Structure 1
Amino acid sequence: MSNDAYFIEGLRTGRETVLQEIYDQFFSKVRTFVIQNKGNTTDAEDVFHNALIQLYIRLKNRQLTINSSFEAYLFTTCKNLWRRELNKKRVTKTLVVELEDKETENAFALLEQEQWELYIQKFQLLSENCRKVLTLLFNGTSYDEIVETFSYSSKVVARQRVFKCKAKLTKLIKEDAKFSKIKKL
């Protein structure tokens, strides 16, 4: 019986002496591979044991044909298992980062919503004229158009009106207790 057949039959029957021989002969190569690829000895042991279990199940459930040597087949199985493990870790890490980013994004969205609500609440307290002036300004209307719309005598008067309305809105917002809470965030 060849060495490959010996190992395959020993694995199929679960003979402890053969399992120990497999471990003694082949584990160090797997450990070296795993350590060189971002793992440690414990990871290598887990991969090696999982590969042996996988091979055992395949041998029990169906006739397994190994076209290469037993060593090459076992090593390839271990490499594939380790690569899958690394991919799972990378995906998990990515998901954690994405979840953290999503959490931060949600916190900023909530903060922006609170700021917007405070702004709207205080905006409504302004005079009708100030609301109209600021609405036009915030919508990109030029000072020339504001002068025409409100029949102001000049752009200087329009700028003064905008300045006073902004100052009033800013004062209303800063005086609110919610502003200091939002500001601390």
Structure 2
Amino acid sequence: MTQKEHDDYLLQSLISGNDAGILEIYKVIYPKVKRYVIRHDGTEDDAKDVLQKALLQLATRAQTKTFEINSSFEGYLFTTCKNVWRREVKISKNRVTNDTVIDLVHEEREIALAAFEQDQWELFQEKLQELSENCRKILEFFFNKIPYVQIAKTLGYATENTVRQRIFKCKGKLKESIQADARYNELKEL
């Protein structure tokens, strides 16, 4: 079975509720999600919740619209899990906890917001891939908070100032490309 066929099998298993395929998804993805969540101040229970939400979101999206994964299924689902966890952390920072207070966040709203954020992420990733290889590399370093000195050394730039200028130009190209896309206005209005 090719990687594409295997990815299609996993996605269809999720949509149709095929236990064998879903079990395979858990075996492959859960350890990575657990490791990521725990490294980012979460617990094993948080990791389980994140994977459940990501799977629900993915299944919902695949059933409601034309849906295609351009990377591997595993990579896509893991990125979705990371986005779900980041959102959870962001929400929990703004939430006041009290044992007698009931959380009023509705699950449907959460799924819709997560799907919206995933659409934004996909647009960003698509436009990032359209940039030159040099711009993609320098922005990857920048987004991973690599020091300018190290970027200059690695990519062979003369000075940190040159790196700053390249980052500024590449970010500008990325922003321009995203804003020129029709989906940008749809996602911005929501």
Determine which structure has more spread, i.e. the larger CA radius of gyration: 1
Instruction: Give TM-score scaled by structure 2 length.
Output: 0.48
Instruction: Give TM-score scaled by structure 1 length.
Output: 0.49
**Structure (1 or 2) with the greater helix fraction:** 1
